[in-house]
Structures are given as C-alpha cells and as structure tokens.
Amino acid sequence: MRLFFRCILQKESKHQVEAHSLQNFLQEMPLNRLHRASRVAFFLCDVQSKFAPHIYQYAPMKAIAAKMITASNILNVPLVVTEHMRDKLGSTDPDLNITKAAILLPKSTFSMLTPQVEDAARKLYASKGIDHVILFGIESQVCVLQTALDLLSKGIGVTVLQDGVSSINPGEIPIALARMRQAGAHISTSESVLFQIMQDASHPGFKQIQQLLKDSKKDTTEALNAFSSVKL
C-alpha cells in the first residue's frame, strides 16, 4: 500500500515539474510576434555623424539604417527617430534621409521611449498605437538595450536587427543582444523582418522591396559579415 501511494506521489510530482517547466517556457517566449497585421514602427536610435569615428563598423550599420528608412516609406511603416543630446552631439547623419519620419525628437535619456516619444507613438495607427517595434542604431548596450527593455515592459513586441546595431566596443554587441533576447526581444536581420511584414508576394510593396534588397545586397552582406563575426 505504501508503495502504491509512493508511486502516485512520484507521478504527481513529475506532472507538477512538467507543468512548471511549461509555464516557465511560456513566460520566456518573446512577446508579440511580428506579422502582417502588426502595428509596427521602425525605431532609429541615435545614428548621429559625430559618433562615426568611434563606432565599430559604422558604415555598414548606417547602410542598414538607410535601407530600413527606404523600406519604411515603401511599406508605410512609421519611422521614429531620436537624437541623443542633439545640442552637443548634432543631428542624425545627413546621409540618412529622415524627412518623412513620423516622429523626430531629441533626448537626454538613454532610452528612446521618452514621455514625448511614447505620447506621439500612441497617436499612430489612428490612435491605436504601436504593438511591435523594429529597433536599430547605436549603442547596442546602452540606448538600444534600454529602449528594448522599456518597450517590452509596456507589452510592445521588439525585434532588434543584428545587422543594424553597433557599439564603440564590438565585444558589447553580442552581450547586449543576449540580454535583449533574455528579456523577450526577437533578434533578426533587416531582410528577414521586411519579409515578415509583407508575408505574401501579393503585398503591394513586394516588388519595390525586392528591388531595394537587390540594390542593397552588397551593403547587407558587409553588415552581416561584420556583425555576425562578433562573438563573446
């Protein structure tokens, strides 16, 4: 009889452990997966020319930013741009055409999600707000990381572009990406997220995006080679 009850208790304990493991797995799953119906915005973080001499692989990172800006216009995705300490560090790199940005604001906080940005973002998509952000820019371990964490804390999904973020110290990049993934962000590439947004070759912007990807292939390859080679 004792053996019988011991077996039952062992089975219940096993089921509890399995249920607990499943619950932990679900809690660790990234929020708000990107899809065609997402109310997505592109967040360009502090790509200012004054940083250019100091940032690891600045040129390929900037090229990815330029590609995403063009894609935002093709796909009608709102572009949100911040400039860190604009009065001291200057404006966004002039090679990046941000004239059609939905939101362009200076900031002193490391996170892009200032009260002003948050308020303006709520008014996007006919005041429904955004539910997913594609994040790229600098620096990975400071402004990009803190922006991702703040967005996730608001229940907004985040996809960080591995080929579109950098740092003064290249060793910081994989650590920051790992921290953001741990917090619930998706880590992807510029090309991959554009196809996720479109979902289907019947998308009205497909041909233009296809041409954009062809035109930017060399820059994309350079960025992928530069940033995928950075290891812990």
Rounded distance between C-alpha atoms, residue 134 and residue 193, angstroms: 8
Catalytic site includes residue 107: yes
Contact 148, 135 (CB under 8 A): yes
Which of the following is catalytic: 46, 131, 163, 219?
46
Measured between alpha carbons, how far is 157 from 159 in angstroms, rounded to an integer?
7
Evaluate whether 39 touches 130 at the Cβ level (below 8 Å). yes
Q: Which of 62, 67, 107, 163 is catalytic?
A: 107
Q: What CA–CA distance (Å, rounded) separates 59 from 221?
A: 12
- Check 45, 62, 143, 163 and give the catalytic one: 143
Nearest to 187, CA basis, from 165, 203, 220: 165
For 226, other C-beta atoms within 10 Å of its C-beta total: 18
- Asked if residues 212 and 67 have their Cβ atoms less than 8 Å apart, the reply is yes
**DSSP annotation of 227:** H
Distance in Å from the first CA to the final CA of the chain: 55
Can you tell me which residue has the tokens 């607990």?
20
Q: Is 93 a catalytic residue?
A: no
The span from the CA of 104 to the CA of 90, in Å, is 13
Alpha-carbon distance 164 to 148, whole Å? 14
Annotation marks residue 131 as catalytic: no
Residue numbers annotated as active site = 46, 107, 143
